[in-house]
Amino acid sequence: MPHVVVVGGGLTGLATAYRLRADGVAVTLLESRANPGGNIGTVDDGGFRIELGPNGFLDRTPHLPRLCRDVGLADRLIPASEAARKNRYLFLNDRLRKLPGGPLGLLASPLLSPRGKWQLFTEPFRKAAPPPGDESIAAFVTRRAGKEAADLFADALVTGIQAGDPERLSAAAAFPRLPAMERQHGSIVKGFLRAGKARKVATLARGEPAPGPMRMWSFREGLQVLTDTLADALGPAVYCGVTVRSVYPSVGGWTVYSEAGDTWAADAVVLAAPAYEQAAILAELDDALAAELDAIPYNRVAVVAVGYRETDCPAAPAGFGYIAPQRTRRDVLGVQWCSSIFPDRARAGCVLWRALCGGVNRDDLFDLSDNELVRRVHAELKLAMGVTGEPVFVKVVRWPRAIPQYVLGHLDRVARIDAAAARHPGLFLTGNALRGIAMGDCAEQGEVVSAAVGRFLASSGV
């Protein structure tokens, strides 16, 4: 039986190992942390259920729902509330302002001036050709829909997903659907409208019921149930607390070396750890490849979970939460109303919210003490949500390397990484630092990489 070593026990590594095992390949998964799951983690504390990393996943593509079905978790999925799907807000000029539900709703929104609405309305007819080379998210949205739309909605989109800077992030890398819509349909508004129809056609072609609106999902027990279930399915093939030092080609395959001096022989190796860990592992084998991986930047984010009594939050609307555009320089990037999004996240009579602090443009906040972070978050929530009492629950989680940033030139860097990795047959690089940060992207890469490894093993006669 062929043997593959997967380094990195986040969702991408777990999904890749699970798919390989399902295809009859012997797998060993090595994870440097004490537990598998990467940045996915759920904690139950004092009657509150807190997600330490992602809060849920979208069903925009079929890969993650399929993975949930394959591991037997489909009946434990729960959708986000209707209020969370429909009600999202911006925090501007010291007040919450509801975001419209779609591109056409923007035309009726008071968030845009008449000139801003006209620029958006005429987007489907605009023939602005893309410039040569990479284009930032801010430049792309400005060119297509005007500066007002870019300042408000592109900023909010990037803040809510990447906690990054729309002036620095690549549109083609971070949001590849947007440039693709422009190429295929000549318009992002037309592209969004037609994407919904295409999603329905694709779902029916798979023999599945017609899809409703795209939704966010989690599990009753929290997202960690997915990574725990994947790890349980792999059983003794998962080794935690193992730091891989290097990988080298050997006769008939590869050898993986740990810092503790253990070794594993493999027919192929998959590196699914964060980019900086892959760089350290590959430094002796291929310093140029390692340098490319090490150049992928990460931001720092602090998650501040706070619980309040419902009676102290009389003005809190039902919904998903709010974003504070980064140009406003608020102490909080955004707040997720966790107990409004999913049931049973807070104890009786209370609400649970998660505030995100830091990111690329407010990196200074990450170094504040827990007490100061909580104080600033509470002050923001008093202003934005009209909170009248002190929190009854607080938990601060810090991610010193939270989200990889797909800065301008990222796709060219990934192409160079692919070309360099191809010089080492049997070595495969993946993870959310390369081709998508969302959980659905990680599940998709599990399918794509496991299939590529299978083709390699077959062609090698293993």
Grouping H, G, I as helix, E, B as strand and the rest as coil, residue 323 is strand
Q: What is the mean pLDDT of residues 152-171?
A: 92
For the chain, counts of helices (H) and of strands (E): 17, 20
Rounded CA separation 62/60 (Å):
7
Quote the pLDDT of residue 195. Answer: 77
Which pLDDT score, from 0 to 100, does residue 128 have? 75
**Rounded mean pLDDT, 172-184:** 93
User: Do 316 and 272 sit in the same domain of this protein?
Assistant: no
- Do 420 and 292 share a domain, yes or no? yes
CA 327 to chain centroid, in Å, comes to 22
Q: What is the pLDDT of residues 217-253, one digit of tens each?
A: 999 999 999 999 999 999 999 999 999 999 999 988 9
Domain count, the chain: 3
pLDDT the model gives residue 401: 97
Task: Tell me the pLDDT tens digit for each residue of 326-347.
Answer: 888 899 999 999 999 998 999 9
Question: Range of 259's domain?
Answer: 3-37+221-297+406-459
pLDDT surpassing 80 at residue 209: no
Distances (CA, A) of 216 to 81, 114, 314, 432: 9, 33, 26, 19
My answer on whether 282 and 368 are in the same domain is: no
104 band by pLDDT with thresholds 50, 70 and 90: low
| Domain boundary, last residue among 359, 375, 399 | 399
For the chain, how far is it from start to end, CA to CA, in angstroms? 8
Identify the weakest region by mean pLDDT among 9-23, 114-128, 218-232, 305-319: 114-128
Mean residue pLDDT of the chain comes to 94
Exposure b/e, 312-351, CB count within 10 A at least 16 = b: bbeebeebbbbbbbbeeebbbbbbbbbbbbbeebbbeebb
- Residue 149 and residue 9 in one domain: no
Among 171, 205, 239, give the residue marking a domain's end. 205
Q: Is residue 89 part of a domain?
A: no
For residues 140 and 276, state if they share a domain: no
d(Cα 231, Cα 185) in Å, to the nearest integer?
A: 42
Q: What CATH code is carried by the domain that includes residue 327? A: 3.90.660.20
The reply to whether 80 falls in a domain is: no
Q: Residues 65, 68, 73, 79: what is their CA dihedral angle, to the nearest 10 degrees? A: -30
Total Cβ atoms within 10 A of residue 47: 16
Would you say residue 118 lies in a domain? Answer: yes
| Residue 137 placed within a domain | yes
For residues 308 and 289, state if they share a domain: no
Over residues 157-185, mean pLDDT: 93
- CATH code of 130's domain: 1.10.3110.10
DSSP string of 212-254, one letter each residue: -S--EEEETT-THHHHHHHHHHHGGGEEES--EEEEEEETTEE
Clarify whether residues 293 and 411 are in a common domain.
yes
194 located within any domain:
yes
> What would the mean pLDDT of 403-419 be, rounded to a whole number?
98
**Claim to verify: residue 327 and residue 445 sit in the same structural domain:** no
Residue 5: burial class (beta carbons within 10 Å; 0-12, 13-18, 19+): buried
Q: In this structure, is residue 120 part of a structural domain?
A: yes
Within this chain, do residues 117 and 263 fall inside the same structural domain, yes or no?
no
If asked whether residues 254 and 331 sit together in one domain, one would say: no
Does 276 reside within a domain? Answer: yes
In a domain, 263, yes or no: yes
292 plus 240 within the same structural domain: yes
Do 234 and 199 have their domain in common?
no
Query: Which of 175, 205, 235 lies at the terminal end of a domain, its last residue?
Result: 205
